[in-house]
Structure 1
Amino acid sequence: MNDEMPRRGLQAAAKERGIKENQSSDRLRQQLAEYDANLNEGSELATSDEEYDKPNPSGVIPGEVMIDLVAPLMGISHQHWDHAHVLRLAERVSGNSVLDGRSSVRNREGAMLFGDIEQDLTEYMASHADIRRLLDPYYVMFDHPLAANFDQAIAAYPVPNSPIPPLDLADPNVPYVFSFQASAQGRRNAHQLIGHVQALCPGQSVHTFTSVVFSQF
């Protein structure tokens, strides 16, 4: 990595890789170099379960469960899908936000199969509100740079004995993106979180967006 790389370029590279930007330039260069080295070392696909990391945190669906769920939809135009099969898939995915395609060979296979139908599924959702309600979560992403007291603000939400459900990370490895149900109440909960954080962290930037599910490999 070029030692003359300006700090703004370092910050942009760090943001792209999900690395904290608010640290000294030397430390930032070191972390970027380590990240890229690890990425290069792990560039070949794993061929056995032992080569994968094993954690399966809450909110993550094992990719292998997709194998049987996706099979009835493969090779068929989404206009001719059996709604019962799509509903079964949607109910299994609903409430989760990450599809694990890296903790085993079978999980990778299932996640890749899901990827094959993902575009068709998105188009199917457009004309089927019941599927859309199940599969289209509402995401809140707090933008970098995070406020110095961001972690404390998140730790203080929701307040004890609140009817608001606990926060659900979209990805357990990304502590600044949260998912909510796509319902009207879910969106209200999302904007309550935004108001809470921005009250404690003035100027904190935030984005909201929707998506079916993130796949991780």
Structure 2
Amino acid sequence: MPSKSTPDALSPPTPSARDRAYDWIANAILSGTYSEGEFLDEVGLAREVGTSRTPIREALHRLRAERFVELVPRKGAQVRVVTVTEMREIYQARYVIEADALTKICARRLGAPAESHELVAAMEAARRDEDWNSIAQLDQRFHAGLVRHAGNAVMADIYESLRPRQIRLAVKNLHSSPERLPVIEREHRELVAAIDEHDRDRSVEILGVHLREVPELIRAFSR
């Protein structure tokens, strides 16, 4: 039996300073603390996170790779502006990957992933708290779960690479048009039902509607 001084093997590891900096800055961008186009001050970020400037720089390089920020010579890190073109391209890429996954899932009569219903319910609960970031994270897990469920590991990795951009896009959409959430929730439930019925055509049709262009979002991204 381990002594009281022995660390609990099940306890999560303490995050590094770089990881803490990454999480803090990413969440600040997603929550709107830092606006699109705003420059980030390394000294101020280090003070907020409680680290030296080195972990801040490392976090900013990761955030650049994930397209949260741009590193501008002699000016520093600037929060990226998400454009209408980028929004359309992300939705197009998602549709191609997700439609392929739905086709395979229905052909194999796998039904929806086990966690789908729980994730949909969690999104609806988060809406009551107007927790846009949590909804966006859950939404990404829901759709990524469908892609993984199809069994193509390479396709799942490609889809996962879109995760940071997908979440940031979703947060911006929710901030711009929170009134669409009941529609999004209904589409999620309809999609799960169609998958459980192994209805490929209906599943892909619902996905196409779910990822369609919405005029109010186009206006929001064009400002």
TM-score with structure 2 setting the length? 0.25
TM-score with structure 1 setting the length? 0.26
Higher strand share: 1
